[in-house]
Amino acid sequence: MVVGGQEINGKKYYFLPNGVELQDAYLSDGTSEYYYSSDGRQISNQYYQGSDNNWRYFFADGHMAVGLATITTENGTTNQQYFDANGVQLKSIAIKDTDGNVHYFDGKTGNMVINSWGKISDGSWLYLNDSGVAVTGPQNINGQNLYFNEDGIQVKGEAITDNSGNIHYYDRSTGNMVTNSWAEVADGSWMYLDNDGNPLTGQQKIDGQSLYFNDAGKQIKNALIKLDDGSTIYLNDKGVSSTGIQRIDDKIYYFDPDGKQVVCRFEELPDGSWMYLDDDGVAATGAQKINGQELYFDNNGKQVKNDKVINDDGTINYYTGMSGEKLKNDFGELPDGSWMYLDNQGNAVIGAQKINGQNLYFKTDGRQVKGEANVDSSGEMEMHFYDPDSGELITNRFEQVASGVWAYFDANGVAVTGEQRIGKQNLFLIQLVIKLKATNEQLTAFSIPLIKKVVRERV
């Protein structure tokens, strides 16, 4: 009875200690493994597809290839191939050897790829040099400037800082280094690469727009940026340096035509209005004292001139048309042509007032009554009329207070009623109620045909 390895008719076989022939089984000698086919013959010097449909290679002495192996073909050429711990040949895969080098094995032949590309399962790419080692770092391949990470995988759609501290961006589709163009990085920010592929930094003018990039080359948006010269610019939501009025975080700023923030001065706006920017470049609003002048700025930062302002406490002020200074002890003309008078505190007077020897009247909104009848708000309900030009109280004369309605005002400026001796005429004046359009208040007035008759006689 034979046992162990035997060569019969030039073929190798193996018999177990009980004399049974080993068939369709692997045999290990402690170092290598051997395979005996279903007819008992040892497989050697060939590829063999087992029942698991995987391919393995057995050398001339029959031992199975494991790991990186050199395979000699029938025509004498050699190829590097890779087999896993179970001897299964691996294809379309990148393998890192014991020295840390990455190799790639062709998807059809399983041969180690050299001087060519290899695509791995996740769709990324490697490039193998003439030693079959995946290249890393910056590379120029077929005229293209490319970059591969430490695992040999080609970088696409990323900005990379190389060992020299240089930043470059590699196209999302081709992987080629981007030059003279924009690139969007992983966090959604943008950079612009110059002719050498270096990202621009600082303030730059691109396609006629003033932009700004940080030290990492990322474009800044929605931010105030201080430049090296100490000036400040604002980048809007498109990253463009803004000019004119800008509202930022509920504060109003102004930027000159060069995009630089205006500080510590008045600035004339395109519409001819003015604003004042403080030390921080924030537009003044509300009542302000600047250079000794009492001024006022509306909620948009525009200085009020030639107009009134109603304060929270109900007082009314007026600001002049030239300097915009708060007016005191003088008349101020409003945009609608009406007038108001400001006292020594700069507050608009209301009601009956004697100013410069004239008896005048001002409504509750501060506007002077002119060419209108006014009913005294006291319990007397006396009607007065004020001259259309001067606004002075009318006395001792007739005045038309409404269309077809006349009244006579005595020495005190009060409209009289009842039987009256006026001039050489005895008249009787009847009290009527009409409405004054300007205020929509009820107004006591007087009119009868006798008045009209007397007027015609006087004429």
User: How many whole angstroms separate alpha carbon 184 and alpha carbon 159?
Assistant: 9
Task: Map tokens 């604002």 to a residue.
Answer: 234
Report whether 80 contacts 68 (CB < 8 A). yes
Measuring CA to CA, which residue among 389, 391, 382 is closest to residue 363? Answer: 391
User: How many whole angstroms separate alpha carbon 75 and alpha carbon 87?
Assistant: 24
Looking at residue 448, what is its pLDDT?
A: 37
Looking at residue 76, what is its pLDDT?
A: 87
Looking at residue 459, what is its pLDDT?
A: 33
Q: How are beta strands 181-184 and 190-193 bridged, if at all?
A: antiparallel
> What percent of the chain shows pLDDT beyond 90?
82
pLDDT of 88 higher than 50: yes
pLDDT tier at 430 (50, 70, 90 boundaries)?
Answer: low
Report whether 244 contacts 237 (CB < 8 A). no
Beta bridge partners of 58: 46, 64
Average pLDDT on 214-229 reads 95
User: How many whole angstroms separate alpha carbon 325 and alpha carbon 295?
Assistant: 5
Looking at residue 427, what is its pLDDT?
A: 77
User: How many whole angstroms separate alpha carbon 287 and alpha carbon 446?
Assistant: 46
- For residue 345, CA distances in Å to 139, 327, 348 come to 79, 9, 9
Q: What is the pLDDT of residues 244-295, one digit of tens each?
A: 999 999 999 999 999 999 999 999 999 999 999 999 999 999 999 999 999 9
User: How many whole angstroms separate alpha carbon 4 and alpha carbon 266?
Assistant: 107
- Quick one: 289 exposed, middle or buried, by C-beta within 10 A (0-12, 13-18, 19+)? exposed
pLDDT of 455 higher than 90: no
Looking at residue 446, what is its pLDDT?
A: 43
Looking at residue 423, what is its pLDDT?
A: 79
> Considering only 136-150, 206-220, 420-434, which range has the smallest mean pLDDT?
420-434
Average pLDDT on 382-399 reads 94
pLDDT of 419 higher than 70: yes
pLDDT tier at 379 (50, 70, 90 boundaries)?
Answer: low
Measuring CA to CA, which residue among 180, 176, 178 is closest to residue 195? Answer: 180
pLDDT of 46 higher than 70: yes
Looking at residue 445, what is its pLDDT?
A: 44
